[in-house]
Every structure is written in structure tokens, then in C-alpha cells.
Amino acid sequence: AQSVTQPDIHITVSEGASLELRCNYSYGATPYLFWYVQSPGQGLQLLLKYFSGDTLVQGIKGFEAEFKRSQSSFNLRKPSVHWSDAAEYFCAARGSGAGSYQLTFGKGTKLSVIP
């Protein structure tokens, strides 16, 4: 079955520190991959996406993610975290073939930022 795993339920970092959120996927073929962020009481905002090509993708708010086929991973990174980055982060995937447009989400990683 297709699945997305985010191993870390909760991560706490100090403001200004670097951040890496882990995501692993299990799909028959390389899926399309996404990272979304959800602030309390808010909807899901797309941070970045990977369809094909360059394995290092840049997103909004200074985030980037690296696709590693050999590790079935798509980890999210930020070099310097700001207090406003505190939120819940979701990795998602969908098939790249026709008729497979719905997203499968990981359970999410909650990020806390210490001032």
C-alpha cells in the first residue's frame, strides 16, 4: 500500500538553528512529493513540491527539500528557523500516473521554536 511516513511527531529547535524534518515514502513508482504547513486554526499551505528534475527544490519562506530516490526520502530543511515557523508540517505524495491525483499524507511533525 502507498504510504508516507514522518518519523518525528514533535521537534523543538532554538530560533536561528537549522532544521531538518524527515519524510519517507512507499510507492510503486516515484510519486510527486509535497510539503505543506499548517498553523494553528489555519488551512494547509503549500511550501514546495517535487515532480521531476533537480532533486533539490526551493520553496517559500526559505524552505528547501531534497529528493533522494535511493532512500525513498524527501526531507525538508531550513538553515535558520524563525519563531514564526512554529507550526505543523505535513509531507504528502500522490501517484504520477493518470487517475491518481489524491494526496496521501504523513501524520505530521509539530515544530516548536524556542526564542
Partner 1 sequence: DSGVTQTPKHLITATGQRVTLRCSPRSGDLSVYWYQQSLDQGLQFLIHYYNGEERAKGNILERFSAQQFPDLHSELNLSSLELGDSALYFCASSGTVNTEAFFGQGTRLTVV
Residue type, 115: P
The secondary structure of residue 49, as a DSSP letter, is E
Under the criterion CB under 8 A, does residue 46 sit at the interface with partner 1?
Answer: yes
How many residues bind partner 1 (CB under 8 A)? The answer is 23
Among 11, 13, 19, 103, indicate the residue that binds partner 1 (CB under 8 A): 103
Cβ neighbours of residue 115 closer than 8 Å, sequence gap 6 or more: 15, 83
Among 29, 69, 70, 102, indicate the residue that binds partner 1 (CB under 8 A): 102
Residues that bind partner 1 (CB under 8 A): 32, 34, 36, 42-46, 49, 51, 90, 92, 98-108
